[in-house]
Amino acid sequence: MSKVAPAGSGYQTAGEWAPRIVAFTCNWCSYSGADMAGTARLTYPANVRIVRMLCSGRMDPLFALKAFEEGADGVLVSGCHPGDCHYVQGNLYARRRLEIFADLMELLGLDPRRLHFAWVSASEGVKWSELIGRVTRSVLEAGPNGEWLSAPTAEFSSAKLPEPGPPPRTAPTRDANAATTSHLRQLARRLLEEGEVSRVIGYAEGAQSDQMVPAFVETPEDAERLVWNERCYANLANYAVHRSGGATALIAKTCDAKSIAGLLRENQLRRDEVVVVGVSCSGIWHGDRLAAKCYGCDEDVSPLADWTVGPDGTARGSIPAAGRDTSPDPRDAALEALSSLPPDERLAFWQGEFDRCIRCYACRAVCPMCYCDTCITDKHRPQWISAPQSGPGNTSWNVVRAMHLAGRCSDCDECARVCPSGIRLDLINRSLAQGIKRKYGTMVSADPAVKTALTTYRPDDAGRFV
């Protein structure tokens, strides 16, 4: 595949480099459209290698990543026009997924001229031939794809990312924490004594740090171990899954409750297995700062709560939100600074981040929404993500992780907190969530009945499709 377009065809550089493009097409429309172009003796550049799928809805961004990792210079995804999909809606789901994937690629600094989407029907041989010409020219302009395979071509200094401003909220007082802790213990004791639950999962003092650690309380007397304060960072939703022998009461902040809602929505948890004890949280602190995830949080207690506990007492159900904190999220300023950089500098920043990844998968282990029995990165036949702890495999892993969480991430920020290399996973998650909100108007909800953005569609969704 070294020489795929004849010299002088306009699809090859003077040095005889010709772009290699992988086209993922649906079987029923776009593949037939390509076939039609051939039958009609239409000419188009021979730079494209077609991978046929049954439907564009099958297109996993992982396929595009793999193509780039294996040296493709460009990727094209093509399916039936909206309304023509042979599986009715596959292309409409694909449109949202690919739109978000393209945003992520842009954030990471991949040249947008490398990624293309198109609707092509079985009768549109002419459109196919024109499309391939256009895509080939675009990839030709972008040049050979060294982005996934070589060292950064630009420098990035972290000093370019703005420092967060002063903390917008003051930490809760010792008295408020003590009152909430007392109410929490009373409720835990009562739930265990009355047999409503078999265990309460909450927080207890840790031996080694000022962060609270998960506590598994199974007797009323043991409830005295429970504590609540602004150091209760961990998301406990993970611990409620696959528990046998009775229901579990789970202490949940609003962000954690969104994870519980996600697990209910995706049938990883049954509603009768969990009693949600929402805690009136006024923000979690990391060192001497409010955690970034708490800046925009506008609810004190989740609407999913069966009980609510706060400094003023215990209530059944949830209590109203206390009002929005309008201080800007420091992650937004960092994202803005990143997006104002030229793509090669953005790429250098992310390559620097991903190069530090040691593939410990702590981000996966801590995430309640990463629950597959066998993770894609552990699959060896085929091996979608290369195993060595460097280079393109690191990029692919971090991109795939982010895409699998897109529209599902509750912004609990656990992945970024536990990453031993301090990779800015929080910026990726935040950027995807903001993009989804901007395009589709939805955020992850604490209501399990509300669908997530990438599991639904609107017929008039915008998309950068040809």
According to the binding rule CB under 6 A, does residue 121 interact with ligand FES?
no
Torsion-angle region of residue 444: left (phi > 0), alpha (psi -120 to 50) or beta?
A: beta
Closer to ligand FES by Cβ: residue 56 or 395: 56
Tell me the number of residues near ligand FES by CB under 6 A: 13
- Shortest reach from residue 85's CB to ligand FES, in Å: 3
Closer to ligand FES by Cβ: residue 91 or 229: 91
Round to whole Å and give the CA distance between 273 and 199: 11
Q: How many CB atoms lie within 10 A of CB 367?
A: 25
- The Cα-based distances of 384 to 67, 68, 356, 379, 396 in angstroms read 10, 12, 20, 7, 9
Judged by CB under 6 A, which of 12, 32, 56, 398 binds ligand FES?
Answer: 56
Task: Return the ∠ at Cα 125 (arms to 124 and 127), rounded to 5°.
Answer: 65
- Shortest reach from residue 256's CB to ligand FES, in Å: 37
Q: How many CB atoms lie within 10 A of CB 12?
A: 20
- Shortest reach from residue 90's CB to ligand FES, in Å: 4
CA 316 to chain centre: 33
According to the binding rule CB under 6 A, does residue 90 interact with ligand FES?
yes
Judged by CB under 6 A, which of 86, 169, 190, 243 binds ligand FES?
Answer: 86
Q: Angle, to 10 degrees, between the axis of helix 90-108 and the axis of helix 343-355?
A: 90
Judged by CB under 6 A, which of 12, 47, 91, 180 binds ligand FES?
Answer: 91
Is the preceding omega at residue 382 within 30 degrees of 0, hence cis?
yes
Round to whole Å and give the CA distance between 82 and 17: 36
Pick out residues in 21-40 that bind ligand FES (CB under 6 A): 26, 28-29
Task: Please provide residue 377's backbone torsions phi and psi, each rounded to the nearest 5 degrees.
Answer: -75, -15
According to the binding rule CB under 6 A, does residue 120 interact with ligand FES?
no
According to the binding rule CB under 6 A, does residue 80 interact with ligand FES?
yes
Closer to ligand FES by Cβ: residue 79 or 283: 79
User: If residue 422 lies in a helix (H) or strand (E), which one and from where to where?
Assistant: none
- Shortest reach from residue 86's CB to ligand FES, in Å: 4
Report the SS3 class of residue 76. Answer: strand
- Shortest reach from residue 130's CB to ligand FES, in Å: 19
Judged by CB under 6 A, which of 19, 33, 45, 57 binds ligand FES?
Answer: 57
According to the binding rule CB under 6 A, does residue 212 interact with ligand FES?
no
- Whose CA is closest to 466, among 113, 33, 117? 117
Report the SS3 class of residue 241. Answer: coil
Round to whole Å and give the CA distance between 124 and 36: 7
According to the binding rule CB under 6 A, does residue 55 interact with ligand FES?
yes
Binding segment for ligand FES among 33-41, 85-93, 317-325, 384-392 (CB under 6 A)? 85-93
Binding segment for ligand FES among 78-86, 121-129, 265-273, 387-395 (CB under 6 A)? 78-86
- Shortest reach from residue 25's CB to ligand FES, in Å: 8
Round to whole Å and give the CA distance between 148 and 108: 11
Judged by CB under 6 A, which of 36, 77, 85, 249 binds ligand FES?
Answer: 85
Q: What is the DSSP letter of 164?
A: P
Closer to ligand FES by Cβ: residue 85 or 192: 85
Binding site for ligand FES (CB under 6 A): 26, 28-29, 55-57, 79-80, 85-87, 90-91
